Amino acid sequence: MQYGSLNAPYEWCGVEVPTRTRYIATSETYRSISDRFGVTMSSTHRAVRRCTTAVVHIADQYICWPDEAKQAEIKNKFKAIKGLPGVIGAVDGTHISIRKPTDHPQSYLNRKKDYSIILQGVCDADMTFIDVFVGWPGSVHDARVYRNSPLEEKVSHLPIESHLLGDGAYPLTNGLITPYRDTGRLANEELKFNKVQSATRNKIECTFGMLKGKWRRLKYLDMLDIPCMVELIFSCTVVHNFVIQREGTHLDDEFDDEDNLQPPNLDVPTRLAFQKRDMLKMSIQ
């Protein structure tokens, strides 16, 4: 079977694409969706699985790490927000609430005592995902997810003038700039940098807000098959990018990311990472 672009017709689809779209865009039950489209519940379930798999197979067309020219464009857009230079993306994690798993449920119990799967995402200034990593259980710290994702390797190869922005849960490195840890003794310049960094980094929270606002199934997955849930979550990020490319960005919903508050990262950064952040601090004075 050949997979083309998302707007290419699938001979086998029929009502499968609208059925699957209805499923991820709402919290309706399979029975309700089946009645809406006049198909059996088994056909609805099959439509969701087939279309989800098809979307995953073409993910590389829509979620792409930016090349040098694209990075330059992204940097200009991020700099226009608050003047912070060199930013090619903002990274964060968000929790996708799920039904209590049958296997190792405690691993999926997050800090708010909900069961969840972690979605790590990096967005550009247009709220498009440029990197996605999903599947780790909700009890895991963002920094551990990051270290075990392909993203860490990509970031380690960024040129010195380029970097991502992350919150205090992430390690400060040459390619990942985090805020100064506020112990109540920060200088005014450091406080200002933190505000600018936060305002610029906020794009990723808006991106998650748009994702969950448009694809409301991600508010809660009443499923037990972990691999199927991971595939469904990932496919929603692909469709998110597809929609932005054609319709632009608009927030359907406000998103409160307090569910992902994490303890500060206590790794000791390198001297070069400290120096780079200090230089960025000076650049926005």
pLDDT band at residue 251 under the 50/70/90 scheme: low
Eight-state DSSP code of residue 265: P
Q: Provide mean pLDDT across the span 122-151.
A: 97
Q: Which of 34-48, 203-217, 268-282 is most confident?
A: 203-217
Q: Provide mean pLDDT across the span 238-259.
A: 72
pLDDT of residue 264: 61
E strands within 71-221? 87-97, 116-123, 129-137, 163-165, 176-177
96 strand-pairing partners: 117
Eight-state DSSP code of residue 130: E
Q: Who contacts 188 (Cβ-Cβ below 8 Å, separation ≥6)?
A: none
Q: Each residue of 149-202: pLDDT tens digit?
A: 999 999 999 999 999 999 999 999 999 999 999 989 999 999 999 999 999 999
Q: Which two tokens stand for residue 102?
A: 């049958």
Q: If you search the block for the tokens 């600018």, which residue do you land on?
A: 196
Q: Which two tokens stand for residue 27?
A: 């919290």
Beta strand 176-177 with 163-165 is parallel
Q: If you search the block for the tokens 């963002």, which residue do you land on?
A: 142
Question: CA–CA separation, 185 vs 216, rounded Å?
Answer: 42
Q: Each residue of 75-130: pLDDT tens digit?
A: 999 999 999 999 999 999 999 999 999 999 999 999 999 999 999 999 999 999 99
Question: CA–CA separation, 27 vs 53, rounded Å?
Answer: 20
Distances (CA, A) of 201 to 68, 122, 124: 21, 10, 10
pLDDT of residue 247: 83
**Mean pLDDT for the chain overall:** 89
Q: Provide mean pLDDT across the span 206-218.
A: 95
pLDDT of residue 10: 39
User: Higher-confidence residue: 258 or 264?
Assistant: 264
Question: CA–CA separation, 57 vs 59, rounded Å?
Answer: 6
